[in-house]
Amino acid sequence: MIDLYFISLHQTIIMRKLSFIALFGVLLSCNSSSPDKETKKDSTVVSKDTSVAPPTTDSAAGVTLTIDPVKYPGSVAYAVFQQDGKTLFYYNVDDKKGSISINGKKYNFTSYSHEINGSTYELKSGDDLTIEVTGTKYHDYANPEPGIMKGKAALVTIILGTAKLATNNVDVIDGTNAD
């Protein structure tokens, strides 16, 4: 009778351990497939001729920023920022005008800051839009017009409200120091 009691007790202990392991497994599987977790994916958007969206978008509001290429009038007093041969934005230091188009809306710059031959630029449109260009490295090229420099920006960060977009590999043509 005592042997039967120990066998029954032993079976009960084993059953409790197995049920605990099964419960633990169910809890882990529920946690890993939770629908409230998001998987972020690269959301690069480049359409054929109308829009360029740099590769990294970090937005607290869930808004994807898409830069629409713009045309600039072209003169020696411009700072021009291009990617893949398309103008992302520009600024003219003589008439203090420039613009960018984001998600189909044009923003005119109200502020421009750049030290001549410096590696950083800052452009603003009101309080909502800020563009920071950093790490620009200029290179020599056969230049028919003195004072125009060409280079590449290491990082361009665009902040619109709470949405933020960062990209690299942006060409910089700076004619703001040209005569």
Q: Which residue's entry shows tokens 């017009």?
A: 145
* Tens-digit pLDDT profile for residues 68-118: 999 877 776 889 999 998 999 999 988 899 999 999 999 999 999 998 778
Looking at residue 171, what is its pLDDT? 94
pTM passes above 0.75: no
Using DSSP's 3-state secondary structure scheme, residue 80 falls into strand
Looking at residue 46, what is its pLDDT? 35
* Tens-digit pLDDT profile for residues 15-61: 565 554 554 454 445 544 444 433 333 333 333 334 444 444 454 55
Looking at residue 77, what is its pLDDT? 81
Regarding predicted confidence, which is higher, 175 or 88? 88
Residue 14 token pair: 């084993």
Other CB atoms within 10 A of residue 120 CB = 14
Q: Using 50, 70 and 90 to split pLDDT, how confident is the model at 120?
A: very high
H helix or E strand, kind and range, residue 87: strand 86-92
Question: How many residues are there in the chain?
Answer: 179
Looking at residue 55, what is its pLDDT? 43
Regarding predicted confidence, which is higher, 179 or 154? 154
Instruction: State mean pLDDT over 135-158.
Output: 83
Write out the DSSP string of 104-170. TEEEE-SEEEE-TT-S-EEEEETTTEEEEEE--EEE----SSTT-EEEEESEEEEEETTEEEEE--E
* Amino acid, single-letter form, for residue 95: D
